[in-house]
A and B are shown apart, each in its own frame.
Chain A
Amino acid sequence: MLVFIIRRLLQSVVVLFVMSLLVFAGVYAIGNPIDILISPDATQADRADAIARLGLDKPMYVQYLVFLGQAAAGNLGKSFAFNIPAIELIFERMPATLELAVFAMGLAVVLGLPLGLYAGLKPKSLGGRAIMAGSILGFSLPTFWVGLMLIMVFAVFAGVLPSNGRGPTTLLLGVPVSFLSLDGLKHLLLPGFTLALLNIALIIRLARSGTQEALMMDYIKFARAKGLSNARIVGVHVLKNIMIPIVTVIALQFGSVIAFSVVTETIFAWPGMGKLLIDSINVLDRPVIVAYLLIIVTLFIFVNLVVDLLYSVLDPRVRLTDSGQ
């Protein structure tokens, strides 16, 4: 187990290194780096000063090493728009995004799992068919448009839910969160559902096919022959087996959800790091873009590691020590 984690961490360092190269090449080498690093309305003297200070007159590989050193020290430049370190800015916005993403994933599981189980247990029933049709629609619906339509129905026509912002936040262990107050929860509902939609459809499909597969297995027949109640067969024997792919997918999708929150946050004016990214792209606040990228890559690597660890916890047959990758 420990060997596995160490090996994975080493691999992660390699991926991060490659990504830093790509980001460096993308942001620093394409176009004039000074335009990227210095606010466009800086004076000529500032520019000359910055070129010398940043070592832009040095050869490329030296520049890269400097960038790497700075990045390793957590210094990714200052935001032009806010004039504070980019990394700080992102960490400030991160809780809002994480809260939204966790809420959306939670919603996806809470809605998707029972629906998928039901559709798997009764595939031929009207309900089961309706659930499957709904999940097909869930895959085809353009998510951002669904967000707009939710605003239209619940905020404009019915007027029961707010259409933008985070609402009041409460400090939980020093982190501001929305879900602890009723008003905050109302603010979470629409963006959370928008973000969850695709994953609800995904979990329904996984849960359904997993359930159908499990039900055909001999161990379910044996469990029935033991006289177990249906509740125990479905709740323990079936569920524990289908949870393996579902947890894996949930964890893998978590990265996607964070990436896609860019869209949801823009629609619902949710003050997270996704909206920050779009705003930064619009004003060409490139240090923030770079910082966002490196942080999201790190997050992805972390998520993938967690997935593998979870997998070994859930499936006793997986032994991490001898898995190659």
Chain B
Amino acid sequence: MTVALKVENLSTHFFTKQGVVKAVNEVSFEVPRGGVLGLVGESGSGKSMTGYSIMGLIDPPGRVVGGRVLLGGTNLLELDPEAMRAMRGSRVAMIFQDPMMTLNPVLRIDTQMIEAIQAHEKVSRAAALARAREALARVGIPSPDERLASYPHQFSGGMRQRVAIATALLNKPDLIIADEPTTALDVTIQGQILFEMQKLTRESGTALIWITHDLSVIAGLADHVCVMYAGRVVESGTVDQVLDAPRHPYTRGLIASVPAANPRGRALAQIPGMTPALLNLPPGCPFRERCARADAACGADPATEALADAHAVRCFHPHTEALPPAAAEGASP
């Protein structure tokens, strides 16, 4: 399988008055054509900022300070603003969490879809409209002609997210970054959208990065997983490797705190403490304050250690035993 996207040592820092926030810290991963990568972590772990960094959508005081983002051999970080703009929406697309907020409330759907095509190609309005109609039909929106002339407020949340997805697919991008696109939706709608996304990307060979805090979504959707904590990837591997045999104590904590992973009547496991403030983060493993296995060694930065195949972990004291079967089953529905 050819690689669609390769991210190497990507770092994005925010330069605030109080100090530097290393929101994305030396993050590396790759996504093959047609592959799905799950980017998992708590809020503030830098997963969304990783997505924005790839898209070139980091605003001051933030700045991408290092690394490479290779899309089919082109380093996106070296492109000038106009070349990067031409990339956005045509070769890399992004959809966002809240479908209520991502469509402009005062513009009709057809306007918002046609402009996405015309920003990249010289096509007539009629041709663009035809493509928009086709895209809406593809994501399962009934009577697309009628819907094109509607305003966003006339759609339900799930429908809006389908419109956003259809818009992202318009220019047949090589990569779609989905930033928690189902979090704000009902569980049933969530399932439908997940299914459709999977089908669509598989059909078109589009690579997908799915950003979420929800491990159960990843289990059913992704091929590979990166677990992020405090701006770094702490564990990565195939879905089976990471979810069934997590090595990093943080990953293990995350899986243990999924409600379905716990037998009835037992208190939910939780990770003690809170995600550290990223402002002027001291050196060393950022998880050590919350980690039961931490010792003096954790005052230094752990290196990323390759285990079997794709599996890698960034910890001085990784777990070596597999997860108890009950918990592993719970995490993969």
Contacts and interface: CB of A to CB of B under 8 A. Distances in A.
B41 interface: no
5 contacts: A224-B88, A227-B90, A227-B120, A228-B85, A317-B153
Interface stretch (B102-110, B256-264, B276-284, B316-324): B102-110
Interface in B100-119: 101-108, 115-116, 119
Interface residues of A, number: 22
A219 B168 CA distance: 13
Contacts of A283: none
Interface stretch (B66-74, B91-99, B199-207, B244-252): B91-99
B85 A227 contact: yes
A225 B105 contact: no
Contacts of B107: 236-237, 240
A223 interface: yes
Among A224, A225, A236: residue with most chain B CB under 10 A: A225
B65 interface: no
A5 B87 CA distance: 48
B116 A221 contact: no
Contacts of A228: 85, 89, 115-116, 119
Contacts of A61: none
Interface of A: 217-219, 221-229, 232, 236-237, 240-241, 244, 314-317
B16 to A, nearest CB: 14
Interface of B: 55, 57, 85-90, 93-98, 101-108, 115-116, 119-120, 151, 153, 164, 167-168
Contacts of A315: 105-106
B270 to A, nearest CB: 30
A292 B196 CA distance: 66
Contact of B119 (A217, A226, A244, A317): A226
Contact of A221 (B57, B89, B167): B57
Given A222-B96, A232-B115, A227 B105 contact: no
A241 B152 CA distance: 14
B93 A225 contact: yes
A240 B107 CA distance: 8
Contacts of A236: 107, 115
Contact of B87 (A227, A240, A241, A244): A227
List the 4 closest pairs (A to B, CB-CB), nearest first: A227-B89, A227-B88, A218-B101, A226-B89
B106 A225 contact: no
Contacts of A240: 104, 106-107
Contact of A316 (B86, B97, B115, B151): B151
A244 B106 contact: yes
B116 A226 contact: yes
A226 B115 contact: yes
A16 to B, nearest CB: 34
A241 B104 contact: yes
A114 B55 CA distance: 29
Given A226-B89, A236-B107, A316-B105, 17 more contacts: A217-B101, A219-B101, A222-B96, A222-B102, A222-B103, A224-B57, A225-B93, A225-B95, A226-B119, A226-B167, A227-B116, A228-B85, A228-B119, A237-B104, A315-B105, A316-B153, A317-B105
